[in-house]
Amino acid sequence: MDEIINKVANSSLEVFDLEDYYPKGIRTTIDISQWLIEGLLLKEKDFREDLKNHDWSRYQGHYVAIECSTDAIIPAWAAILVTIQLVPFAKKIINGSLEDLEGSLYEELLSKIDYSTYKGKSMIIKGCSRMPVPMRAYVLAANYLQPFAKSIMYGEACSAVPLYKESKK
């Protein structure tokens, strides 16, 4: 009987798993529409009073996305004023959705990695994850890896999709 050999385990492929870089912490969305009249109209005096009376300490250590879920046209200073209230408590604050927040977190983290350790290596950007890794993170990873990697694939080692192969010089 022939021995079964795990070629994937014995290969020189290196897995780049974005989940390894996933920052732990609570993600929160703050919807500005909660402080608008009927979710549409910002009355400055009432808005400022509502923000003053809000318990901002409950966002201690959170990653926060500020958005408005209605079609209200709100002045730019409204999100900035919410940000000012959050700064003493939140780890990170962005204007946008939770997906925008995840993308921003990955952009910050991926920019700090020394990719030269992947010089001349065959890479797989792992595709399946349990965490909400945004597409933006995969694009950033490919962008950072390409100048160093010999090849880049996406997915799992057993069924990877080839994306890039260094040209022979």
Full DSSP string of 70-94 = S-----HHHHHHHHHHHTTT-SEEE
Note whether 49 and 31 are same-domain residues: yes
Q: In this structure, is residue 106 part of a structural domain?
A: no
Note whether 83 and 120 are same-domain residues: no
In eight-state DSSP terms, residue 134 is: -
User: What's the confidence (pLDDT) of residue 3?
Assistant: 65
Note whether 40 and 11 are same-domain residues: no
| pTM tops 0.95 | no
Note whether 86 and 36 are same-domain residues: yes
Note whether 64 and 82 are same-domain residues: yes
Grade residue 6 by pLDDT with cuts at 50, 70 and 90: very low
Burial of 33-43, coded b for 16+ CB within 10 Å and e otherwise, reads bebbeeeeebe
Model confidence at 2: pLDDT above 90: no
User: What's the confidence (pLDDT) of residue 8?
Assistant: 47
Looking at every residue in the chain, the average pLDDT score rounds to 92
The count of domains in the chain is 2
User: What's the confidence (pLDDT) of residue 91?
Assistant: 97
Q: In this structure, is residue 123 part of a structural domain?
A: yes
Note whether 31 and 67 are same-domain residues: yes
Distance of alpha carbon 73 from alpha carbon 67, whole angstroms: 12
Note whether 13 and 34 are same-domain residues: no
Cα separation values, 41 from 49, 108, 113, 136, Å: 15, 35, 44, 33
CA-only gyration radius of the chain, Å: 22
- Quick one: average pLDDT of 71-90? 96
Given 90, 105, 138, the domain boundary residue is: 90
Q: In this structure, is residue 107 part of a structural domain?
A: no
Q: What's the start-to-end Cα distance of the chain, in Å?
A: 44
Instruction: Please say whether the beta carbons of 126 and 19 come within 8 A.
Output: yes
Which residue segment(s) compose the domain that 85 sits in?
27-90
Q: In this structure, is residue 98 part of a structural domain?
A: no
Q: In this structure, is residue 1 part of a structural domain?
A: no
Note whether 33 and 82 are same-domain residues: yes
